[in-house]
Structure 1
């Protein structure tokens, strides 16, 4: 069972949610890119996950419980003492990160609050960048609209999200399409509303990011 809850108000600007997942049977969970970084207390201890550029398959044994804190896209900043790009497509034990201490699954929010007081705030423009790219416009046009050169936009994306604007655009566009598809919209309409050239374009991007077609992601238990 997977459950989300809102974070403490003091963390709401950079944290999307708290979540727990407990397996009642053997489970292989397909985790797909969402632009987020998670601080997770797993059965073998705490680690930091993401941001991902492809699917990650997590194996859960019956009775195993995971507790996580999910940062908003661009919300991590320098919190863990390493560049976000260094975390890309990795699961890193907290013990390998400088100055990070988590005492237990109930301690995730305290740990983040403590770290936040000693590190610079994340890029205040990260949300605007992700929102502009989510609409499917060309990267050059988004840079122009935000008053940035393409090089400036690339540097800010890598610092804030861990990868460049083209990858970020694929991820946020895919997530928009996934939300629309889960609402019951026709896939052709989903593709058009999400900024894809056509349904075939969406299908290629979904396979690249998730490793399976959209239909598989809409099945029960899909991440």
Structure 2
């Protein structure tokens, strides 16, 4: 890595104040930062976000192996199953929403799997409402700062959720079990579903097939342990604790999901474990 990135971070994170949104949205916030590095890896979480770039009317995402995607400054970042390269300059001023598992589904006119590993512009997803949302948020932030912008965004999400179907509670239960390492076959049995039905429902509501979702969430459990630890990680012990067959299996999965080796993993900070600066 090319040194410690310099920045002037400012952030505000809140929970939705409207009870109707609490089952759908885990958190929302405003973040500002200035970074010295020109590119960074964004690691997969299996979750989805809504992003609004207040600094510039553009968002981009480039899979580590594949073609990039660009949209206007307001977009849904679908559930990701692999690493992507993003531009830190697009994080200078951002409003963001992190959806709970299955929580994005009520805000989309299509199954969530159709935005997997994609940026989807709100103008494409929501038509006129999506096309003007960024301007509404810019006006709100200019008048009342980030809290006003978040209140405006919350109102827009509440209005949108009333027009679409509610999330599937059984899929949320499946996500809960998969997140804790329950085998896929056991999850299907607990729900009284066939494996095919579980796959179909997870793809439609989580955006990711259950086996892939379980892999990504196991990877996230690993990253949390690494970033909470003191000193060099004991990869063999972490492999056993996080559900990998052995250290070789952990290294293979790390390469597949992060695009780098465990030894090369150096996030922006322990609290930003899914953002890894790339050398210039």
1:70 and 2:98 matched? yes
| CA distance 1:215–1:13, shift in 2 (3 Å) | farther
Q: Which runs of 5+ in 2 are unaligned?
A: 1-8, 58-72, 139-148, 276-280
Q: Which residue of the partner structure matches residue 3 of structure 1?
A: 11
TM-score, length of structure 1 as denominator length? 0.89
Residue pair 2:47, 2:100 contacting (<8 A) in 1 also: yes
Per the TM alignment, residue 57 of structure 1 is displaced from its structure 2 partner at its CA by: 1.5
1:142 and 2:142 matched? no
Aligned counterparts of 2:91 and 2:249: Cα–Cα separation in 1: 40
Q: Which residue of the partner structure matches residue 53 of structure 1?
A: 81
Aligned counterparts of 1:139 and 1:169: Cα–Cα separation in 2: 8
Partner of 2:154, secondary structure, is: helix
Partner of 1:166, secondary structure, is: helix
CA RMSD, aligned part only? 2.2
TM-score, length of structure 2 as denominator length? 0.72
Per the TM alignment, residue 85 of structure 1 is displaced from its structure 2 partner at its CA by: 0.8
Aligned counterparts of 1:3 and 1:64: Cα–Cα separation in 2: 11
Per the TM alignment, residue 198 of structure 1 is displaced from its structure 2 partner at its CA by: 1.4
| CA distance 1:62–1:111, shift in 2 (3 Å) | closer
Q: Which residue of the partner structure matches residue 107 of structure 2?
A: 79
Q: Which residue of the partner structure matches residue 16 of structure 1?
A: 26
Could you say which structure has the larger radius of gyration?
2
Aligned counterparts of 1:52 and 1:4: Cα–Cα separation in 2: 24
Q: Which residue of the partner structure matches residue 215 of structure 2?
A: 170
Partner of 1:125, secondary structure, is: helix
Partner of 2:106, secondary structure, is: coil
Aligned counterparts of 1:120 and 1:90: Cα–Cα separation in 2: 22
| CA distance 1:3–1:73, shift in 2 (3 Å) | farther
Aligned counterparts of 2:255 and 2:90: Cα–Cα separation in 1: 29
Q: Which residue of the partner structure matches residue 111 of structure 1?
A: 156
Partner of 1:78, secondary structure, is: helix
Q: Which runs of 5+ in 1 are unaligned?
A: none
Residue pair 2:28, 2:95 contacting (<8 A) in 1 also: yes
Aligned counterparts of 1:48 and 1:41: Cα–Cα separation in 2: 9
| CA distance 1:72–1:214, shift in 2 (3 Å) | farther
